[in-house]
Amino acid sequence: MGYRVAVVGATGAVGREMLKTLAERAFPVDEIAALASARSVGQEVSFGDKKVLKVQNLEHFDFTGWDIALFSPGASVSAVHAPRAAKAGCIVIDNTSHFRMEPDVPLVVPEVNPDALKKARRGIIANPNCSTIQMVVALKPLHDLFSIRRVVVSTYQAVAGAGKEGMDELFAQSRASFVGDPLKAEQFTKQIAFNCIPHIDRFMDDGATKEEWKMAVETRKILDPDISVFATCVRVPVFIGHAEAVTVEFEEPVDLERARDVLREAPGVVLHDQREDGGYVTQIDCVGEDATYVSRLRVDPTVPNGLAFWCVADNLRKGAALNAVQIAEAMIALDLIGRKAA
């Protein structure tokens, strides 16, 4: 017996990756539905190598009798339809930002805080921001060992974080640069081809962007409310894969070899740190992979008990689709989802 699973936002980059991930991990599916807006109804999306799904209209879909819904349709759509699905008895795992900071909605990375799933009283679990996910996966074993006081992070975020439209704009601008056509900036505030833009999401009153705010508040909710986080988030001309340069100040003295040991053993982390040419992982290396890769691990002598590292992950997989599917797997393992499928 398997589960009845709906994927909401199935025609988007993350929605397609959710379907791909469910199939690749042989998630126990008895029936699957691909849902999107009215303009996408009738389109076809793949589920595994052999199955093709016809997209159905989210607006008219009845979630009664469905076990799990993976949502990635945009925050305003989730705000309306995620509670509707949960009210019908369907467990919702939402990839948008809408529910993340609501106190009665768990914000979960399964390698970090799986016990929070037991508090999903509303039937909704939030998937964290992509840049937060990979950082806390790497920070968790270090926090358990040395106790984190402060994190300073600079991100190098791929255009896939802005969806298919973001990837299309990078491609179009790159092509236009070579053939001499005019460049149009529509999805980003400046030209993204051959450029870096220190601006993701809207600006807030203190000068931070909302993406930077998300990394701080989400890390505290997931990992520890006493951790200080200062982020600078940058969009870079890479299609898929986020990178982060992370500097951490701990409460306790740092031992580099102990840090290496716990990272080697940490779930979801691959330590690839060789002090030689190419002895580190870059964004292009992590595309299609499930792990968070940690490289360039070293002591930071400029702060007490300091450690620095570089981490990369596929933002469509661990940063979104894979984490959502892992949440569903963890809920099954914890016996928090009952089957409704016959």
DSSP 200: -
- Residue 136: both structure tokens together: 């806390």
123 is in an annotated binding site: no
157 is in an annotated binding site: yes
Bridge partners of 40, per DSSP, are none
60 tagged catalytic: no
Helices first, then strands: H and E counts in the chain:
8, 14
13 is in an annotated binding site: yes
Q: Which of 81, 143, 242, 286 does the annotation list as catalytic? A: 242
- C-alpha distances (whole Å) from 339 to each of 3, 68, 131 are 6, 9, 33
12 is in an annotated binding site: yes
130 tagged catalytic: yes
Three-class secondary structure of residue 42 per DSSP = coil
**Which residue bears the tokens 């909302």?**
210
253 is in an annotated binding site: no
- Roughly what angle, to the nearest 10 degrees, separates helices 130-146 and 256-265? 130
100 is in an annotated binding site: yes
235 is in an annotated binding site: yes
11 is in an annotated binding site: yes
Q: Which of 90, 98, 130, 311 does the annotation list as catalytic? A: 130
- CA–CA separation, 293 and 310 (whole Å): 8
Vertex 293: Cα angle to 308 and 253 (nearest 5) = 30
- The dihedral over CA atoms of 188, 189, 191, 194, expressed in degrees to the nearest 10, equals -80
- Residue 232: both structure tokens together: 């600078």
Neighbour tally for 102: CB within 10 Å? 12
Binding-site entries for phosphate: 100
Binding-site entries for NADP(+): 11-14, 39-40, 182, 315
Residues with active-site annotation: 130, 242
Binding-site entries: 11-14, 39-40, 100, 157, 182, 235, 315
Binding-site entries for substrate: 157, 235
